[in-house]
Structure 1
């Protein structure tokens, strides 16, 4: 059997060495089986093995092969729809509970990095960059909202100040989040996998699950016929789950995003562009995001392809956006270009809940997965230890199917996105 390799990204090219993890070839019995070795599965597994559970993780490809090993590497706080939207759409009680957890994910990641000495190029600080006064007003409202929920480590920057931190004349101001930061995401995943195994957890790669039997003690069967029976099952395949659980895929849609990485710029030139090396994302609906890597390359991503997949040329798609932000990088050599899928829901909030009393699922982070996945892993662990209130709070969020069903979800969503993109361009 040939080994599945990571996509040809900057992250894969600079990943730390990892052990060969063979496919599952024998039947097993365990406390918890987890489908997927991305952040949701890894965070869940690590919290559980720390609590003494026997854990088996089945990964269809490689640890961190999907979005967890390809993303922009930014630790963005809160959810893709913020707490005020949750309150309007899902009620005050749900907003209060989800709001109380909205800033835990990045702290969990920092704890893992420190506790297990994970080398993943962590740097603190993140900027939300506004193009106009309307977006600045939205950032001011966000600062006030977050402060009401206990996150007060933010700072509004005016036009003059933001230009001392980002060498671009595009921005009217920014919100600096001191509890944000950025990482090498694949190395974080690999470090978490190593921590799981150091505590007795088992991870099997190239072990795609073909069948789930929803029994009181769930049974999963891989494509090669090996089976795992467990007290509990956690489904964490996210955008790469396929049709394994039809009732989940009907209420979510894979979306592609793309990233390029420049040649090495050197620290001096890097700090000329982003003085304090924070990560940045803009405030548009279809936003751009960027940061400096550990070896001082500019990593730049943006755009969305609904339904997943990549444009014909990622470089041709992203270079104009990069050079519009930083004209001084005109013609810069791009060493890496890659894409990957994240999972979108209609509500833009995560799909989290149970299929049966012993089968849990979590997916659909809608672009805010790096931090929220780590929170969800903690909540699953709390639930299996007997405290389900925080996990079940996510289950109160109702997830509607995409308009038009699977056949029309892509064009309908793209049409809606075009409307918001047009508003961004007009500044209204």
Structure 2
């Protein structure tokens, strides 16, 4: 029971290991899954005075929650126009405002709990790989009018002044968003849950469940939890414990690598502390870490994890294709993580039946949407609001199983080809 070898593991400031469940525990709410969604839900319930138990199959933040790109910015895996087509304009606006609230929640949690080792750094840049400044300017103005949210347009000269690549044209900079060390953030949240009386058990995968009746029962290999409420937050690592939940999303692998220490070489290409993502579907995302000494670079998606050697080769090809001057930058670490994607590309958040809740399928936008997801599930359990119902149009729709995985991979390849042609035509 250990973390995969990642940059986040090597720079994790809290190595505490928690016990496995043994015997019987009783609580108001049981959370199955110790990632971003589960711990946020548990934190809000514990703050309200509920007794909570968290069951984690591995260790807190083991999955994609603790080894992602670290970007915290508003929005979902699909756009607001598509959300509006399904849920209506008013719901789309409210959902986007909730995603902004999620960003604020993470920032405020870092400040309130003094999670200094999360090392939040302001600024996200979304860059175009073809000429289209007019559309970006219109987007900036639309965002200001619809949500009162200020973005900053960057023209090509300004973009290339800090990103030394001829692949990039215009950009939008979001100074209210930020990036951080996700594993240290999670472990800080876990400490606060325990300080408030919550119990977290690691190495305790749920094996069988009984969700009938007023008191739910979840059994592990050596123990059992009895609770009035159960919340499933297992994401891309969901097994067959709950068939309907597992069938409702696809596990999608994404990849990250971290360079050797080479601050001067990295600065020859990237002269900003902002995190950067491009406008392609499953495009590159990267940021300098370790006070500018290393480069963390992520991207690519597949429907099953590739070998480390393959992922390093593909990510390096992307990096060097964007920044030829980094050809000599060596890779020190590489890893993959499983995200969960629903067919509609929206989070799945809600109540399955009395006392049974779910909060999953964040599609690569977990650091803000897990926050708001956990918050609204907690509000629903506490009877404080029914905001979770905004997600009802995006329910537990069957994702297609093996056929769905094949379609997802083919769709990704199609989008890659479209991106390639669009850039060549620019």
TM-score by length of 1: 0.94
Q: Tell me what 1:408 maps to.
A: 403
For 1:311 and 1:144, how far apart are their aligned partners in 2?
A: 42
Q: Deviations over 1:3-51 (max 9, x none)?
A: x110011111111133220101020110111001100011111111111
CA shift for structure 1 position 151: 4.3
Measured in 2, the distance between the counterparts of 1:310 and 1:394 equals: 36
Match of 2:198 in 1: 201
Give the root-mean-square deviation of aligned CA atoms.
1.7
C-alpha distance in 2, partners of 1:12/1:398? 34
Separation (CA, whole Å) in 1 of partners of 2:331 and 2:370: 30
Q: SS at the partner of 2:14?
A: coil
Counterpart in the other structure of 1:250: 247
Question: CA–CA distance in 2 between the matches of 1:36 and 1:423?
Answer: 37
Match of 2:277 in 1: 281
Structure 1 position 383, deviation (Å): 1.4
Distance 1:301 1:264, change over 3 A: same
Are 2:269 and 2:325, in contact at CA under 8 Å, matched by a contact in 1?
no
2:161 to 148, 157, 164: 164
Counterpart residue number, 2:39: 42
- Of residues 106, 131, 134 in structure 2, which corresponds to 1:133? 131
Alpha carbons 1:311, 1:317 under 8 Å: kept: no
Task: Give yes or no for contact 2:268–2:325 (8 Å, CA) kept in 1.
Answer: no
Check conservation: 2:99, 2:368, Cα contact below 8 A. Answer: no
Map Cα deviations across residues 158-212 of structure 1 (whole Å, 9 max, x no partner).
Answer: 1001112212221111000111111111111111111111211111000000112
Following the alignment from structure 2 to structure 1, what is the Cα–Cα distance between the partners of residues 240 and 323? 41
Q: Please state whether the residue corresponding to 1:19 is helix, strand or coil.
A: coil
SS at match of 2:71: coil
CA distance 1:62–1:360, change in 2 (3 Å):
same
Equivalent pair of 1:56/1:203 in contact (CA under 8 Å): yes
Deviations 1:100-138 (A, max 9, x none): 31211111111111111112121000000101135x455
**Within 5 Å, which residues of 2 pair with 1:201-240?**
201-215=198-212, 216-224=214-222, 226-240=223-237
1:329 to 1:96, Cα distance in 2 relative to 1, 3 A: closer
Select 1:292's aligned residue among 288, 294, 302: 288
**CA contact under 8 A between 2:350 and 2:377: conserved in structure 1?**
no
State the Cα deviation string for residues 58-89 of structure 1 (Å, max 9, x = none).
00000000001110111121111122221023
Aligned length: 420
1: distance between equivalents of 2:148 and 2:279?
Answer: 20
- The answer to whether the 8 Å contact 1:256/1:310 transfers is no
Instruction: Work out the CA distance in 2 between the residues paired with 1:99 and 1:74.
Output: 17
Paired residue for 2:140, among 140, 143, 150? 143
Alpha-carbon distance between aligned partners in 1 of 2:145 and 2:245, rounded to the nearest angstrom: 33
**Distance between the aligned counterparts of 1:20 and 1:398, measured in 2?**
35
Q: State the alpha-carbon separation in 2 of the partners of residues 144 and 369 from structure 1.
A: 26
Alpha-carbon distance change, 236 to 399 in structure 1, aligned in 2, over 3 angstroms: closer
Structure 1 residue ranges without an equivalent (≥5): none
**Structure-2 residue corresponding to 1:121:** 119
Find the aligned partners of 1:176 and 1:367 in 2 and give their Cα distance.
19
Of the structure 1 ranges 29-38 and 380-389, higher mean CA displacement relative to structure 2 is found in: 380-389
Q: 1:320 aligns with which of 313, 317, 320?
A: 317
8 Å CA contact 2:228, 2:355 repeated in 1: yes
Q: 1:300-379 counterparts in 2 under 5 A? A: 300-308=297-305, 310=307, 312-379=309-376
Q: Please state if 1:424 is matched with 2:419.
A: yes
SS at match of 1:273: coil
**1:355-379: CA deviation from partner (whole Å, max 9, x where unpaired):** 2110110111111111100111111
Structure 2 distance, partners of 1:275, 1:105, is 28
**Aligned partners of 1:239, 1:151: CA distance in 2, in Å?**
34
Shift of the alpha carbon at 1:265?
Answer: 2.4
Structure 1 residues 7-86: aligned runs within 5 Å? 7-86=4-83
Indicate conservation of the 8 Å contact 1:84/1:145, yes or no. Answer: no
CA contact (8 A) 1:353 1:391 kept: yes
